[in-house]
Structure 1
Amino acid sequence: MSAPILTDVATELTPPVLPAPPLPIRTERLVLRAVVPDDSAAIGAYCADPEVTRYLPFPALDADGLARRMERLVAGTAPSAPEEMLALAVEHEGVLVGDLMLRLTDRHGPADPPAIAELGWVFAPEYAGRGFATEAARALVDLAFTHYPLHRLMARLDPRNVTSARLCERLGMRHEAHTRQDFPERDGTWSDTAVYGLLRPEWAAAF
């Protein structure tokens, strides 16, 4: 009798490594590309503004905070596993006007690629009102569903951030939840969280 064939369970459960997305992405007015160290001055300018970071999970950035954020953004080029992210700089006519984030979160099973991801964005206030955030975020949504095997996209934000809530709605995302006093503020208080979501079939129907 031949010896039984032993399988490497650990190998069988190893999820696939996803390829880096094709960049840059060009829309009607914008270029979405990888973040590079030379973007530090532009990103630092708007992330040092307390009004810009008022509803973000980080405070207005000093030099040390900017260095830490730039390290994460520059490294965010080819996410493949939960908690890894894709970071994109947004340019208009060669000028950096904001940045976007796509963070992978959850798998369906231990050997599956991530099926859920979270969106985030920050834009320089001097470029507000021109539709750049909507145009860029819509391109990222399309990339998320075409390049990654995602089932769901979500965004979590402070309900007082009306501008971002309206952007979620323009992207076709649904307001799914409002959780009370679940986010610790920097001043020791608690704030609420609004959850918006978009499923692959909903995106496909509007694509």
Structure 2
Amino acid sequence: MLKPSYPIRTNRLILRPYTPDDLDALHAIHRLPQVTRYLYWEPRDREQTREALKRKITETALLEEGQALTLAVELAATGELLGDVLLIWHSRAHRSGEIGYVFHPDHHGRGYATEATRAVLELGFDGLDLHRVIGRLDARNEASARVLEKLGMRREAHFLDNEIVKGEWTSEIVYAILRREWHARP
């Protein structure tokens, strides 16, 4: 079980639960085709973003396996919403989880996704006592692969044409890191 104390602060970022006031900023992210290119969903209109936000608002703790923790990521200096990070608790018995992230393209290339995801990995390993955490991505998403590699995750699998997403066959890459590897990194 994981009930984080909020907000979570990193060097440059604040990770916190979503609120209804985040609708405009979240929609500015979810409406962009370049954001959803490698995701399962298409760009969202305002009402679809509102529905997604309602779900995100409830994802503030991991009480049972199968649940997701989704945190808004804002720039500490300005309060601007940059995107979000996700931790899914897959299995209590196998102590496994999964991470994910979505950031506005205006903030790509500055290390924000790596910094925020590092904080979520710490929650998974130190707060939830996970043994193994994975990150899954569309094989074409090289920027996302670099984030996972910077976090010390290793590429474990490349599944060719394993899913039809948005009407086309896509390939998936899976990265992973074990608790002992996480704690042994420099």
Aligned 1:6-21 pairs, distance under 5 A: 18-21=1-4
TM-score, normalised to structure 1's length?
0.85
Residue 90 of structure 2 corresponds to: 105
Unaligned runs of 5+ in 1: 1-17, 109-113
Residue 199 of structure 1 corresponds to: 178
Residue 76 of structure 1 corresponds to: 59
Provide the rounded CA distance (Å) in 2 between the counterparts of 1:131 and 1:49.
20
Residues 34 and 74 in structure 1, CA contact (< 8 A), matched pair in contact too: yes
> Does residue 65 of structure 1 match 2:48?
yes
Larger gyration radius, structure 1 or structure 2: 1
2:113 to 133, 136, 147: 133
Give, as a single letter, the amino acid of the residue that structure 2 aligns with 1:160: R
Residues 156 and 196 in structure 1, CA contact (< 8 A), matched pair in contact too: yes
> Does residue 49 of structure 1 match 2:32?
yes
Per the TM alignment, residue 37 of structure 1 is displaced from its structure 2 partner at its CA by 1.2
Aligned length: 184
Per the TM alignment, residue 165 of structure 1 is displaced from its structure 2 partner at its CA by 0.3
Give, as a single letter, the amino acid of the residue that structure 2 aligns with 1:46: I
Per the TM alignment, residue 19 of structure 1 is displaced from its structure 2 partner at its CA by 4.2
Unaligned runs of 5+ in 2: none
RMSD after superposition: 1.3
Provide the rounded CA distance (Å) in 1 between the counterparts of 2:96 and 2:45.
32
> Does residue 179 of structure 1 match 2:179?
no
- Cα deviation code 1:134-183 (max 9, x no counterpart): 11111111121111021111011001000000000000000000112122
Provide the rounded CA distance (Å) in 2 between the counterparts of 1:154 and 1:81.
18
Residue 104 of structure 2 corresponds to: 124
TM-score, normalised to structure 2's length?
0.94
